[in-house]
């Protein structure tokens, strides 16, 4: 908060978000006791390239929120089990759902009741009957902004990778999945070698370039299902689901080798960088803290053994 707003970084994040838009369809949860209407909205949104899911019993909405992971909830007001406003109140009690816009869509024309619904957790109030085009654009603009905001909250602006907090949250989620499905899970901690001297010799902007290039390399070389985060300044974490220790060490060593061959050209001359890496895996080590601790210790040993190596 003491730093001035970095507008350039902000624009960069928004750009990256825009670039991701076409491949990831907007996911809309439609809560309406009328199956006919709900399915009509679903069809309308799907014709615009979105993915819809219909829930006719509002009491089931929370479970669907969690499982479907929507970008936005389109919410009816009057339903037999509870009102949309009541449901919004409950949804807003969960911080994980805070960033999901709730748009009411109801025949309710009374402005006071609309305002009350909004004050209980809604972001917008649309009235039925609604023009399909209007519904699509109202939903799309909301989702676009919500995604941009979320990417600022969860991602690091220099690299676009998950930030520290989100990386740990993802590791927690992936570890629970691994335990449930009895599949291995590997965690790799990566730390750039002698990075202080890179900054000191070539300047901070060149250091940033090295960080960006490693982030790109990790994203390129790892699987789409793998999760990469910027854990600290020049520290990264890679979470590899369904991957046993040896396989993780092998792939991280390939990344290490590729990174050590990247040439950086600067006015002060050409140089190469390297990183050290520590890998640990479930089920060899169980529990979030144990896993991180083991990966950290392996990283420390890699540093001590001379850097530019992967240890487990
Ligand atoms: P080691 O091989 O032991 O890891 O040595 P090191 O110099 O990399 O170790 P250390 O952790 O002491 O230094 C990390 C440096 O990374 C310190 C900090 O100035 C720099 N750094 C952290 N974040 C950034 C960043 O966003 N950009 C740049 N350019 N430098 C950063
Ligand atoms: Mg209704
Ligand atoms: Mg470090
Ligand atoms: Mg370092």
pTM, to two decimals = 0.74
Whether residue 303 has its Cβ less than 6 Å from ligand 1: yes
Mutate to test the pocket of ligand 1, among 194, 215, 233 (most ligand atoms within 8 A of CB): 233
Percent of the chain with pLDDT over 90: 81
Is there a contact between 237 and 188 (Cβ–Cβ < 8 Å)? Answer: yes
Which region among 7-16, 34-43, 177-186, 287-296 has the lowest average model confidence (pLDDT)? 7-16
| Position in ligand 1 atom list of the atom nearest CA 207 | 29
The ligand that comes nearest to the alpha carbon of residue 195 is 1
At residue 3 the predicted structure's pLDDT band, cuts being 50, 70 and 90, is: low
Whether residue 211 has its Cβ less than 6 Å from ligand 1: yes
Residue-wise pLDDT tens digits, 49-64: 999 999 999 999 999 9
Which region among 127-131, 144-148, 234-238, 243-247 has the lowest average model confidence (pLDDT)? 144-148
Residue-wise pLDDT tens digits, 62-82: 999 988 989 999 999 999 999
Query: What ipTM is given for this predicted complex?
Result: 0.95
Question: Closest by alpha carbon to 54, among 31, 87, 82?
Answer: 31
Mutate to test the pocket of ligand 1, among 192, 195, 208 (most ligand atoms within 8 A of CB): 195
Whether residue 234 has its Cβ less than 6 Å from ligand 1: yes
Checking if the pLDDT of 10 tops 80, the result is no
Residue-wise pLDDT tens digits, 168-182: 988 988 998 899 899
pLDDT of residue 54: 98
The span from the CA of 157 to the CA of 6, in Å, is 10
The span from the CA of 42 to the CA of 191, in Å, is 46
Is there a cis peptide before residue 113, judged by omega within 30 degrees of 0?
no
Annotated active-site residue in 108, 166, 234, 235: 234
Q: Whose CA is nearest to atom 12 of ligand 1?
A: 196
Residue-wise pLDDT tens digits, 142-154: 999 998 888 888 8
67 is catalytic: no
The ligand that comes nearest to the alpha carbon of residue 80 is 2
For residue 241, CA distances in Å to 91, 104, 165, 172 come to 30, 38, 19, 12
């Amino acid at each position: 908060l003491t730093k001035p707003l970095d507008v350039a970084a902000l624009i960069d994040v928004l750009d990256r978000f825009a670039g991701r838009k076409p491949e990831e369809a907007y996911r809309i949860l439609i809560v309406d006791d009328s199956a006919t209407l709900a399915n009509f909205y679903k069809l309308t949104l799907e014709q615009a390239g979105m993915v819809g899911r219909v829930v006719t019993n509002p009491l089931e909405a929370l479970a669907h929120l969690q499982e479907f992971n929507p970008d936005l909830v389109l919410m009816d007001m009057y339903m037999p089990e509870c009102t949309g406003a009541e449901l919004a109140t409950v949804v807003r009690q969960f911080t994980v759902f805070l960033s999901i816009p709730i748009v009411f869509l109801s025949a309710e024309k009374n402005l006071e009741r609309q305002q009350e619904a909004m004050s209980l957790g809604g972001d917008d109030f649309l009235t039925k009957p609604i023009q399909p085009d209007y519904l699509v654009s109202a939903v799309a603009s909301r989702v676009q902004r919500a995604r941009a905001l979320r990417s600022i909250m969860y991602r690091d602006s220099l690299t676009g990778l998950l930030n520290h907090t989100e990386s740990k949250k993802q590791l927690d989620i992936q570890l629970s999945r691994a335990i449930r499905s009895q599949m291995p899970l590997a965690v790799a901690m990566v730390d750039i070698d002698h990075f202080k001297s890179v900054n000191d010799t070539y300047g901070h902007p060149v250091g940033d370039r090295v960080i960006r290039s490693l982030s790109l390399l990790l994203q390129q070389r790892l699987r789409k299902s793998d999760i990469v985060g910027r854990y600290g300044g020049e520290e990264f974490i890679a979470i590899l689901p369904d991957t046993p220790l040896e396989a993780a060490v092998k792939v991280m060593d390939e990344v290490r080798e590729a990174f050590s061959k990247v040439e950086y050209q600067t006015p002060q001359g050409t140089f190469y960088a390297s990183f050290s890496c520590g890998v640990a895996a479930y089920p060899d080590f169980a529990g979030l803290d144990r896993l991180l601790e083991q990966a950290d210790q392996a990283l420390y040993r890699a540093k001590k053994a001379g850097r530019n190596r992967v240890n487990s």
